[in-house]
Amino acid sequence: TSLVESICHLPLAIQFLTCVLFWCLTMVYVATNIDYSLFNVMVLFWLSLIETFGYSYLGSQLMAEANGVGKAIYDLPWYEHSPELQRYYRLMLQRVQRPTRIT
Q: What is the pLDDT along the chain (103 residues), one digit of tens a residue?
A: 567 667 667 777 777 787 778 777 777 776 776 666 767 766 777 777 787 787 778 778 888 888 888 898 889 898 899 999 999 999 988 888 887 766 5
DSSP 8-state secondary structure symbol assigned to residue 2? H
CB of 68 closer than 8 Å to CB of 17: no
Give the C-alpha separation, 25 to 43, whole Å: 9
Give the C-alpha separation, 67 to 25, whole Å: 40
pTM of the model: 0.51
Tell me how far CA of residue 42 lies from CA of 28, 31, 32, 47, in angstroms: 16, 19, 18, 9
